[in-house]
Amino acid sequence: MRGLFLKFGIKSSFMKSPPKGTVIVTYIMDRNRIQVKLNFSQLEQTNLAKVFILNEQGAHFFRTYSDSEGMRLVDEEIGAWDNVTAESAKIANEQNKIGFRLKNIEGSMLKRGREMMEGSLNWIGLDYELDPKYCNFEYEIELFG
């Protein structure tokens, strides 16, 4: 696919932009849980529309999405940046033996996604989208396997 994009002159580019500040992240690890605490008080709010917290892994190994409403998606069925409406969602390997789960948290939007393009994109994840007005955000990653 990447070769086709290059043939038509489509390529990735990243524009350097000035940093918006610092996010202070604290991880508290337990046996099968990671408590993540984020502090956004040092972020410049001018022209800051959203904050994204990415929880992503490699799409070659982790290939399934499932949620507390019974939805199960594999590979391309997962899509990219789709909203999760279920109470919780899980990313796992194909045999459902190893992975992680996140809960939908009020005041944020939980999104699921997967993109795999040889030589370019290779990610699957559950990502939070937040309004930047929040100074603090906390969530828990439940690990299994």
| pLDDT tens digits, one per residue of 65-106 | 999 999 999 999 999 999 999 999 999 999 999 999 999 999
Locate the domains of the chain by residue range.
17-144
CA 87 centroid distance within chain: 16
Distance (Å, rounded) from C-alpha 29 to C-alpha 77? 32
The reply to whether the predicted model has a pTM over 0.85 is: yes
DSSP-derived 3-state class of residue 52 = strand
Amino acid at 143: L
Does the structure show a pLDDT above 60 at 3? no
- Six token digits for residue 89: 């969602």
Nearest to 45 by CA among 17, 20, 18: 20
